């Protein structure tokens, strides 16, 4: 199983020097991939609680964020072989035609190293700020992915749907990777899991218990087979939000929370349930917002 790591694009540690250092060190240590996260706003009075934390508050680190694609482009310029991924870009915030151009550019500039992680978003505040409509985000996502693939694989490209329309046009720059960069979708609801099974190259879960991940990935494969796809071609890339604790957590332990040995056990368990890759987000653990801590954890979890 491959091991990746998040590059720091959130919080005080997200500096040019830290991004360059982490990217180059991760590549030198044999990590397979670098990943960025997207967060657009830190609402003072959020309309909906943050679904990850127990009290619904957004982490303080999210008050400072760098654009996920620009960060990866910077990392690409300082590396040569490590893959580059988004986990995830929220589709409601983007137009697929202009995003296709940005993703194509990054794939070209990195010489074919891009993984495209996509999601639906969850924050009403961010939806409102970008003019998105939460009620249609699922149906819009289906067309969104279709537009990306159309632009990447045909010339001239043309698309006419309910949400997007593209007049027959030549869009000359095409990705290095054929037929297109792999698409991984963060999904939890049944309709979104079906989207993974029918439209994506893989699944990008986070925060789920191991048993739930195994069951949901099994369901994705069943839906893929029912749709006429080869389920073996779908991969699972797990995002691990690492929270290191001084002592092992004995009760009610969430995945990737605990001692370093417990986290290693979680990584191994992900491999057993069929994960092709696990990548670790190092920014939320104790001391995570220092470059020194990132470098320490890079050494701790370096691929063997």
Whether the pLDDT of residue 191 is over 80: the answer is yes
Domains and CATH numbers, the chain: 2-300 (3.20.20.30)
The predicted pLDDT at position 284 comes to: 78
The predicted pLDDT at position 92 comes to: 98
Whether the pLDDT of residue 52 is over 90: the answer is no
The pLDDT confidence band at residue 292, using thresholds 50, 70 and 90, is very high
| Size of the chain in residues | 304
Taking the C-alpha atoms of residue 72 and residue 69, their distance in angstroms, rounded to an integer, is 5
Q: 235-249 in b/e burial notation, b at 16+ Cβ within 10 A?
A: bbbbbbbbbbeeeee
Taking the C-alpha atoms of residue 259 and residue 135, their distance in angstroms, rounded to an integer, is 41
Q: State the DSSP H helix or E strand holding residue 93, giving kind and residue range, or none if neither.
A: none
Taking the C-alpha atoms of residue 116 and residue 39, their distance in angstroms, rounded to an integer, is 16
Q: Which of 57-61, 108-112, 231-235 comes out lowest in average pLDDT?
A: 57-61
- What is the crossing angle of helices 291-300 and 16-28, to 10°? 10
Whether the pLDDT of residue 8 is over 80: the answer is yes
- What is the crossing angle of helices 190-199 and 137-153, to 10°? 10
Quote the mean pLDDT of the chain.
96
The predicted pLDDT at position 286 comes to: 65
CA-based nearest residue to 260, from 232, 239, 282: 282
The pLDDT confidence band at residue 287, using thresholds 50, 70 and 90, is low
CA distances from residue 56 to 41, 50, 149, 290 in whole angstroms, order as listed:
15, 4, 36, 25
The pLDDT confidence band at residue 160, using thresholds 50, 70 and 90, is very high
The predicted pLDDT at position 172 comes to: 82
The predicted pLDDT at position 283 comes to: 84
| Cis peptide bond N-terminal to 88, omega within 30 | yes
Sign of CA dihedral 102, 89, 257, 287: positive
The pLDDT confidence band at residue 212, using thresholds 50, 70 and 90, is very high
Looking at residue 59, what DSSP letter applies?
Answer: P
The predicted pLDDT at position 289 comes to: 85
Residues 6 or more apart in contact with residue 299 via CB below 8 angstroms: 29
166 φ, ψ to 5°?
A: -130, 115
Using DSSP's 3-state secondary structure scheme, residue 225 falls into: helix
CA distances from residue 183 to 58, 226, 236 in whole angstroms, order as listed:
27, 20, 11
Whether the pLDDT of residue 253 is over 80: the answer is yes
Q: Which stretches does DSSP call E strand in 161-201?
A: 165-169, 183-185
255 φ, ψ to 5°?
A: -60, 140
């Amino acid at each position: 199983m491959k091991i990746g790591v998040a590059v720091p694009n959130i919080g005080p540690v997200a500096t040019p020097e830290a991004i360059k250092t982490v990217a180059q060190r991760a590549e030198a240590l044999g990590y397979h991939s670098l990943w960025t996260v997207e967060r657009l706003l830190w609402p003072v009075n959020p309309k909906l609680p943050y679904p990850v934390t127990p009290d619904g508050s957004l982490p303080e680190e999210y008050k400072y964020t760098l654009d996920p694609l620009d960060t990866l482009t910077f990392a690409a310029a300082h590396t040569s072989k490590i893959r580059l991924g988004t986990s995830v870009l929220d589709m409601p915030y983007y137009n697929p035609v202009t995003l296709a151009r940005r993703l194509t550019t990054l794939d070209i500039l990195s010489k074919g190293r891009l993984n495209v992680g996509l999601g639906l978003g969850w924050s009403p505040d961010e939806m409102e700020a970008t003019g998105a409509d939460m009620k249609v985000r699922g149906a819009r996502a289906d067309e969104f992915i279709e537009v990306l693939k159309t632009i990447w694989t045909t010339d001239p490209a043309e698309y006419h749907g309910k949400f997007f329309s593209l007049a027959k046009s030549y869009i000359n720059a095409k990705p290095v990777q054929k037929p297109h960069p792999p698409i991984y979708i963060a999904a939890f609801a049944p309709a979104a899991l079906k989207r993974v099974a029918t439209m994506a190259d893989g699944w990008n879960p986070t925060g789920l218990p191991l048993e739930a991940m195994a069951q949901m990935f099994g369901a994705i494969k069943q839906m893929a087979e029912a749709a006429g796809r080869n389920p073996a071609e779908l991969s699972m890339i797990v995002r691990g939000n690492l929270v290191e604790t001084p002592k092992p957590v004995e009760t009610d332990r969430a995945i990737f929370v605990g001692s370093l040995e417990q986290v290693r056990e979680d990584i191994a368990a992900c491999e057993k349930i069929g994960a092709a890759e696990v990548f670790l987000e190092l920014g939320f653990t104790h001391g995570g917002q220092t470059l020194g801590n990132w470098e320490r954890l890079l050494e701790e979890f370096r691929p063997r």
